[in-house]
Each structure stands twice: as C-alpha cells, then as structure tokens.
Chains A and B, each alone.
Chain A
C-alpha cells in the first residue's frame, strides 16, 4: 500500500497504549531496568523507555524467544505419546517503541525461518505481531545502519513508524495493511500531515563508514585468509553475547527436558561463537578455533545470507559491539574488510 502520513499529539500517545491494552493486545516495549533496557510487556506509556538509544537486546524475542516449547511427550511403558504444541496459540501482539533496526531485523529472520521447510513457530508469531517503530533522533559511535542499507528513519519491517517532529507532535507513517488495520484503533487521534514535512531533519546523522558491496565481495573472497580472521579475533573469548543481542542471529539448539514419565522439547538460542556449536559426536570440530568461528559469524551475515537468501544478516544496530565484553567492534572489522 501507499504509505499514509498523519500527525499524532505526543500527549495522546498514552491513549494508544491504553486502547491496545483494553482490546486485550499484549504490548511489548523497551523498559529501563538498571543499566539494561529490556523489551517487556507493558501496560502504560510511563513504563516505556522511549528516549533511550535502543534496547540492550533486540526485539527478536517477540517472535523468536530464548526458550520455546515445541513438543510435549509422555512415556508409558514402551510407548511414547507426543503432543504437538500449537504454533498458532499466540495472541495478536504489538511491538511498540522499537528502533528501525529492530523492525528491519525481522526481514532477515523472515527469510531464514521462511525458507522451506518453513518454521511455523516463528512465522505465526511474526504474522501476529504489529510493529510500531520510533525513528532515531540520536545515534552513537557503534551505530552503522546507513552503511548496511538502513537508516535512522528506515521503514522496512515496520508497520507504523513514529518520528518526533516537535516537542508536542509525532509524524505517523502508516506503512502496511497491518499498520492500517491497527491504526483503526486510534484514527480519531490522527490529523493529516502536510506532505512537505521533511522527516530527515529530525533524524540522527549516521555517516556511511564503509562500502557494503566491497564488504560483501571481500568477505566472500577472504574465506581462506586465516591471518585476517585470526588478527581480528585474537581477543574474542567465544561467548554468545553478540549473537544473543543480535536482531538477525537465528541459530538454535534443541534440548529435551524429561523425567521418567514425561518430557518437553525446547528450542533454545545458540551461537556460532561457541566451540560446542559445531562439535561432532566423533570429537572432530570443523571449526576448531575461535578465528574460524568469528569468520563464520561474518561470512554468514555478509556472504552466505546475501547469496542464498538475498538479505543481509546485519542491520548495523551495533548491539554486538556494545555487548561484547572484549570490545570486538563489528563496524571497525567490516571497515577493515572493505579496505582489504
């Protein structure tokens, strides 16, 4: 659909949350908890951290939670009785106040989980989630969305996007049919926006720092450049912080939890940074050392995904760099790859 431009008074924003909640829609939004900003269910606007740079973790958990039950079973004598979990059992949900990089991160997840055989657990949740993003008035040194095709006002992946254009007013961009449907709940609060409003004026200035085409071609060509990957990753300690805060990392593991009578099968986040990720039963590990795991992380996002799924595996949000305990700065590493 063609996007619709409207104006909403900032003072009416709380009514939106009230209306969503009164209709029974769960609202997930960033909430400040100490130094960490979590994306959590909220009931009122005042609990939402709207003026923060961005949440510590990405919004992916709305459709891809860290722990997800996919099967239940009981054990009776020699028989195993399975009970499938209904992937549709998920309420229509509103993801509110996230950043454009969170919303666009779902494009990569859609491509990964949508690839045959498609993943009903993710896709159903995603389908039932309406995303209202807020464009970014500020950015920090870790942000590089504009270098990977996004931007502080990027709208792909969002159903509605809000941009603060004054202290009192928000520009509302209704971008999708889903967004249009949801806006039915607050149409009375909207007025028409002048098409001459220059949204760019209200956005953070995020400089392009590298040539994306070069990153993609050089990454692909650098598979055997062991020295490059070693140099970049000597300080990497092989935790999963980068992957777990990433809006596009989608790798998972299955674990069964059971006693003698019954059990559940759980899907859990996993990370290619862990040495166990590729360890074979035989004891052989094709990615034996951390530099090979770091290479995988970069190759997957900038070579394999563009080639196989036609999407990039990175939104330039910089969360991985901020979360990294040893200061692995992806923007810096990609810049050096582009200059190879």
Chain B
C-alpha cells in the first residue's frame, strides 16, 4: 500500500499525472473508487482483497477525463477493458498512466499497450469456480428452461440501467434503449421491455465483453447479468477466433468480414 501511495504521490508531484483513479475506504465494509488529485488524497489510497472491481469505466467519464492526465490502478479485468477500449478507439496508447499491483504487492507500470498485451498473454483470465458452476447449471438447461430462467430474472429488472452505467464497454452517448423516436426496443420496464433491453445489451457486448462482472455487481435487483454476456464469449471465440480485451489493435469480430469466415449459420 505504501509503495502505491509513494508512487502516486511522486506521479502527482512531478506532474506526470493530474489525477489517479484507485481504491479507497468506502461505507462500512465497502471499498469505493477515489480520484486522487492531491498528495493528501493519494494518502487515502488502499489496496486490499476487497479491491476487485473494474475501475476502467471511469476513464471515459466526462468529468473524470477533464481532471487532466489520468493514472489508474488496473487489475486484470481493467487491463483487458483498456485493451478493448483501445481497439474501439476510445483510449490512445500513452494517454493513461497504468499501474498494476502484483501478488507480492510490488507495482508494475505499463509503458505502452504492447507491454499490457504481453502481460495479458500470461495472465489468468479464467472465470471463478463459482461463476463456472453457475454457467454450467444454465448450460445444462433445455432451451425452454433457459428461457424461463432468464425471463424470471428479467422480471426483477427495474430498468435503472446500473448494469449499463457500470459496464466499461457501454459508453455510447445515446444507447439504443434511449432512442425513442422511433422506439427500437420498448422503453418501459415491463416484461417485453426488460427482455428486449437485456437481449439487446448482450448482443451489443458479444465479442466485446471481457467478463469483469460489473453489470451483475451493480444490479440492485441481483440479476446475474454477467452470466448472460459470458455465454457469448465462447461462440465468438470458436466462430471467429477472437477473445475480447487481449489486443489493442484487435478488429471487432462482428463488424468485419473475412473470406474464410464460417457461414454455416446462414440458412
């Protein structure tokens, strides 16, 4: 922790960065994002086992961007988000100062996207055993059971859009669901509106989701949304050979065409 505070203090002092996005103590048993702009604020940075959420979404928040040159404490999920955002031309190489805390509490600083790519090749990007068990349970269901499972989950949705707001990849200035003239999907949080919203969002994340799970963590109604987008990771990998968030210059599988693309899904 001290190493992190010292490092950020130095970065702020020598004006390498204007603000650092890291973790700080939150309410009672929670941690929260903090934005250190002064040495005093940097002294409040923490890094504990509870500091697991993906901070990268803040890199695109208007007011955060306007703090100046940013530094960020990135975990594996955040590094992958940053790679995916780079491939979508949302972050430029060198634009953000990126720090990573190693298992032995030492710090790794990434000088460029290439070094992040090399790091991610060796990093563990597997899902947790708990997530794996939940996915297997869903995949073992028949199509109709699965339909019923998700419809039951979506029934709880209140369309607060916390999932969308928490997702680093949901950065559209005007989401499809907010376009109401004409309405592409029903705006209301009724059965059809909830289903259409979540399916639309999942489809828009196919091949882009890096499975950080922030959508599910954000949901006040406890809908396991990460399990929905997770199920689109494999089809994209097997169908197009692409895994999101591994390369800064990746081409988005669903927006390009290659002559040797499989066409067996076209009837």
**Size class of B's contact patch?**
35 or more
| Also in contact, A329 and B26, with CB within 8 A (given A237-B61, A239-B161) | yes
0 or 1 for each of B13-37: is its CB under 8 Å from A? (1 = yes)? 0000000000000111011111100
Q: Is the CB of B61 within 8 A of A240?
A: no
- Cβ contact of A257, chosen from B161, B186, B217, cutoff 8 A: B186
Beyond A67-B190, A244-B158, A325-B217, whether A36 also contacts B222 by CB under 8 A is: yes
When the two chains form their complex, are residues B166 and A142 in contact, meaning their CB atoms are under 8 A apart? Answer: no
Residue of B nearest to A253 (CB): B187
Known: A66-B158, A290-B63, A327-B27. A241 touches B32 (CB 8 A): no
Known: A237-B165, A269-B158. A141 touches B28 (CB 8 A): yes
Check B35 against A240 for contact (C-beta < 8 Å). no
Question: Is B180 in the interface zone, CB < 8 Å from A?
Answer: yes
Q: Mark A234-250, 1 if CB is under 8 A from B, else 0.
A: 11011111011100000
Q: Is B178 an interface residue, CB under 8 A from the partner?
A: yes
| Contact A326-B188, Cβ < 8 Å, known A230-B63, A237-B166, A239-B164 | no
B160 A266 Cβ-Cβ under 8 A = no
Interface centre among A35, A67, A245, A276 (most CB of B within 10 A): A67
Which A residue's beta carbon lies closest to that of B191?
A67
Identify B33's interface contact among A35, A235, A276, A321, CB under 8 A: A235
The reply to whether A332 and B27 contact each other, CB–CB distance below 8 Å, is yes
For B64, the chain A residues whose CB sits under 8 A away are 234
Q: Which of these, A36, A269, A321, A327, contacts B189 with CB under 8 Å?
A: A269
Partner pick for B160 among A33, A271, A289, CB 8 A cutoff: A271
Give the residue of B31, B187, B217 whose beta carbon is less than 8 angstroms from that of A255: B187
B residues 158-183 touching A (CB-CB < 8 Å): 158-162, 164-166, 174, 178, 180, 183
**Residue A56 at the chain B interface, CB threshold 8 Å:** yes
B222 touching A239 by the CB < 8 A rule?
no
Contact with A along B214-228 (1 / 0, CB 8 A): 100111111000000
Chain B contacts of A34 at CB under 8 A?
222
Structural contact, B189 and A239, CB atoms closer than 8 A:
no
Selected from B27, B166, B189, the residue in CB contact (under 8 A) with A329 is B27
Size bracket of the A interface: 35 or more
Q: Report how far A326 CA is from B162 CA in the complex, Å.
A: 10
Are A239 and B162 also in contact (CB < 8 A) when A56-B221, A257-B186 are?
A: yes
Name the distance in Å between B62's Cβ and chain A's nearest Cβ.
6
Which residues from A are CB-within-8-Å of B187? 253, 255, 268
**Among B57, B62, B161, B214, contact of A274 (Cβ-Cβ < 8 Å):** B161
Cα distance, A230 to B66, chains bound together (Å): 11
Whole-angstrom distance between the alpha carbons of A241 and B189 in the complex?
13
- B30 / chain A contacts, CB cutoff of 8 Å: 327
Tell me if B188 and A235 are in contact (CB < 8 A): no
Q: From residue B192, how far is it (CB to closest CB) to chain A in Å?
A: 9
For chain B residues 197-230, which have a beta carbon within 8 Å of chain A? 214, 217-222
- Least Cβ distance of B117 to chain A in Å? 28
Interface centre among A35, A230, A234 (most CB of B within 10 A): A234
A233 / chain B contacts, CB cutoff of 8 Å: 63
B156: CB under 8 A from chain A? yes
Q: Are B188 and A67 in contact (CB under 8 A)?
A: yes
Quick check: B183 and A255 within 8 Å, CB to CB?
Answer: yes
Q: Which residue of B lies closest to A258 (CB)?
A: B183
Distance A142 CA – B28 CA, assembled complex (angstroms) = 9
Q: Which residues, 29 to 61 on B, are CB-close (under 8 Å) to A?
A: 30-35, 57-58, 61
Query: Is A291 engaged at the interface, CB distance under 8 Å to the other chain?
Result: yes
Q: Is A148 on the interface with B (CB-CB < 8 A)?
A: no
Known: A67-B188, A257-B183, A266-B188. A240 touches B161 (CB 8 A): yes
Provide the residues of chain A in CB contact with B174, threshold 8 Å. Answer: 276
CA distance A244 to B32 in the complex (A): 21
Chain A, residues 159-185, CB within 8 Å of chain B (1/0): the string is: 000000000000000000000000000
Which residues of A have CB within 8 Å of B58? Answer: 235
In the complex formed, the residue of B with least CB distance to A141 is: B28
Contact of A66 with B189 in the complex, beta carbons under 8 Å: yes
> A-B pairs with the 5 shortest C-beta distances?
A325-B218, A239-B165, A323-B220, A239-B162, A327-B32
Residues of A within 8 A of B (CB): 33-36, 38, 56-57, 66-67, 141-142, 230, 233-235, 237-241, 243-245, 253, 255, 257, 266, 268-269, 271, 274, 276, 289-291, 321, 323, 325-327, 329, 332
